[in-house]
Amino acid sequence: MSAASNRTLDNKAEAIDTEDAIGIYPAKTAEKGAAEDVFGDEEDHAIRYKTLSWPFVAAFMIAEIVSNGMLTLPNAMAVVGIVPSLILTIFLGIFALYTAKLLIDFKLNHPEVHNMGDAGYIMFGPIGREILSAGTVIFAIFAVGSEILSGQLALSMLSNNGLCAVAFLAIFSAAIFLLSLPRTLGGLDWLGLLSAIFITICGFLAMVGAGANPVPGRVIVATVPTTFYEAFLAITGPVFSYAVLFRFFILISEMRKPEDAMKAAWVLQGFSTAFYAVFSVVVYVYIGSTVASPALLSLPPVWSKITFALGLVNFLISGALYAHTAAKLIFFRFFRRSRHVYSHTPLGWGVWIFLCFASTGIAFVFATAVPIFSYLAGITASLFASWYTYGVAGFFWLYDTFYLRGGSDGLKRRPFGTMLATSTVIAGAFMCVAGTYVSAKLIADAYREGLVGKPFTC
């Protein structure tokens, strides 16, 4: 725990006495002026950030994660069986809701937190800030690259490979860059809602297409005997289908009422968990063990084109949101509390445009020039999403309980909450190590089997 964070905590309000039986207590409200909000009073600012309502925050997060889970979960069922995959999907959805609660409480207790780097500074000092900030930027840029590849796949499918894949990658990257340019998330709120609607319709039509064209002689099994490597490789889909909390701090910071953030989390996890469960079961039941990843490729050509056309909207907007996230973290690191954040200055806009371009451009180069990019994206998810979605939330609870609620005695008085938080940290560490091992082995196997292509090829 850092000395800097102790000074911050000296200004916190008195603890709320009420807490529930499992130790997940309400966030305390900081005294007025005790800890400065990220954006402060925006009344005289030309650029106002705190404009989001909780339904739009929920839409943003649904737009970003549902496509990832929807495209990969049916294949996970084919590898491990319908029963373990379904149980894991539901369990991880509940687990992610719990970790979202811990993150939101930490944010409300520390209103000055804008991103994971700020949280890392409070808990672990400068080193924690650098590690969590760098991880957020790297993960966001790789997420942009993944969306670029998804967009290229959709465009190639819709055009019957009418252009070279590199050309489609460039076109889609340019569109992502342009959409990422608004300075505030409020400037993207309706796009986020549109993206969530389109990916939901895409999923429903994919289920209809699978049901209307069942695969003859398909194989459907409850459980599949498999190795640890194959099983964990398959379940990385469910594990990382909820990987959106890494940018929740940024979203909450731009809410008009941050205390409503838990409403967004309930909608996100309730919708995504139910949608994942229904979608993966329906597609797997009608297609069987041959279902591909992404699942849309297993549909008949006409249905595949229809669903990819709808998904294209989501891939585009999600890519823009990820690029916006990477750019914003770096922008605020340089200009936080300066006039360039709140005013339309040439320097502010010049740096912002450059950062959006760099976030998209780096992702484009990686997606185009690195043949193993999709495998590397799996490694970044293992290294960072495992912590941002699960593990680090346990540290949030342990830190605030220790420093705001009585030190070690506070932890001892809440044994169940302490056990849950500690288990969350351990779970995040396991997902990180096992996921990295599986992804690294996958790269080695791909090279050995000659599956790795060449850069800048059609």
- Tell me how far apart the alpha carbons of residues 23 and 98 are, in angstroms, rounded to a whole number: 12
Cβ–Cβ < 8 Å for 359, 326: yes
- pLDDT of the residue at 77: 86
The CB density around residue 387, as the number of other CB atoms within 10 Å, is 24
At residue 245, what is the residue type?
Answer: L
Task: Give me the pLDDT at residue 169, please.
Answer: 94
> Residue 154: which pLDDT band, with cuts at 50, 70 and 90?
very high
| Separation between Cα atoms, residue 144 and residue 160, nearest integer Å | 24
In the predicted model, what is the mean pLDDT of residues 225-237?
75
- 71 burial type by CB count under 10 A (0-12 exposed, 13-18 middle, 19+ buried): buried
100-104, 228-232, 365-369, 382-386: which has the minimum mean pLDDT?
Answer: 228-232
Q: Is the pLDDT of residue 163 over 90?
A: no
The rounded mean pLDDT for the chain is 86
In single-letter form, the type of residue at position 434 comes to A
Report angle CA 442, 429, 106 to the nearest 5 degrees: 130
CB-based contact 428:387 (threshold 8 Å): yes
Distance CA 443, CA 370 (A): 12
Residues composing the chain: 458
Indicate the Cα dihedral angle 103, 104, 109, 110, nearest 10°: 70
52 pairs with which residues across the strands? 255
The residues with which 255 forms a beta bridge, in sequence order, are: 52
Tens of pLDDT, residues 282-305: 999 999 989 988 889 999 999 999
How far CA 197 is from CA of 62, 203, 283, 293, 436, in Å, comes to 9, 10, 20, 22, 33
Residue 456 pLDDT grade (very low, low, confident, very high; cuts 50, 70, 90): low
Angle, helices 82-109/392-404, rounded to nearest 10 degrees: 40
DSSP 3-state assignment of 454?
coil
pLDDT in tens, 1-53: 444 444 444 444 333 333 433 344 444 443 433 457 888 888 888 999 999 99
Highest mean pLDDT among 13-17, 65-69, 364-368, 370-374: 364-368
Residue 344: CB atoms within 10 A of its CB come to: 11
Q: Measuring CA to CA, how many Å separate 304 from each of 108, 190, 202?
A: 44, 26, 10
Q: What is the pLDDT of residue 447?
A: 82
List, in order of start, the domains of the chain with CATH numbers. Answer: 54-373 (1.10.4160.10)
Region 393-397: mean pLDDT is 95
**DSSP characters over 215-260:** PTT----S-----HHHHHHHHHHHHHTTTTGGGHHHHHHTBS-GGG
Q: Percent of the chain at pLDDT above 90?
A: 59
Confidence at residue 35, expressed as pLDDT on a 0 to 100 scale: 58
Least confident of 173-177, 204-208, 402-406: 402-406
